[in-house]
Amino acid sequence: MSDSTITVRGWLGGDVSLREAGGVPVASFRLACSPRKYNRRTDTWSEGLTQWYSVTAWRALAENCAGSLHRGDPVVVHGRLETRTYVNGNDVEVLSFEIDAIHVGHDLSRGTSAFTKTQRPEQPAVQEVEPERAA
């Protein structure tokens, strides 16, 4: 299987939504990416059309996204890209870009962030069993 992976940076369009699917946490959010291009002839920057991505994160990544990200935050997302088409309420076919996130983080070129390691629940200790001695 060959997945199409993508890395995008942009801004959170809203707060992260956290839910459960099949007993597993799932986080969803929208990411807005507006490309900027520099024109050397005119010495100016121009904004391109904003591209919107729906991002989904699973398990521990989902919980960490929900606890760390907020509307308007600059983020970098790396994951598997999927495109879907559907017909909206106005009978218009729409192309949707969705990212199944593998890595998500704040875009540190835009500011600073503090990292706190997630505490995992302590696992019960496994007792070693000594092999039987030959008689």
What is the percentage of the chain residues whose pLDDT exceeds 70? 89
Q: Check if the beta carbon of residue 58 is closer than 8 Å to that of residue 25.
A: yes
pLDDT tens per residue across span 76-106: 999 999 999 999 999 999 999 999 999 999 9
Torsion of CA 101, 8, 34, 110, to 10 degrees: 100
Query: Is 134 a residue whose pLDDT tops 80?
Result: no
pLDDT tens per residue across span 35-56: 989 999 999 999 999 999 999 9
> Fold for domain 5-106?
OB fold (Dihydrolipoamide Acetyltransferase, E2P) (2.40.50)
Domain ranges of the chain: 5-106
What is the percentage of the chain residues whose pLDDT exceeds 90? 79
Mean per-residue pLDDT over the chain, rounded: 91
Question: For position 128, what pLDDT does the model report?
Answer: 64
Residue 21 structure tokens:
């699917």
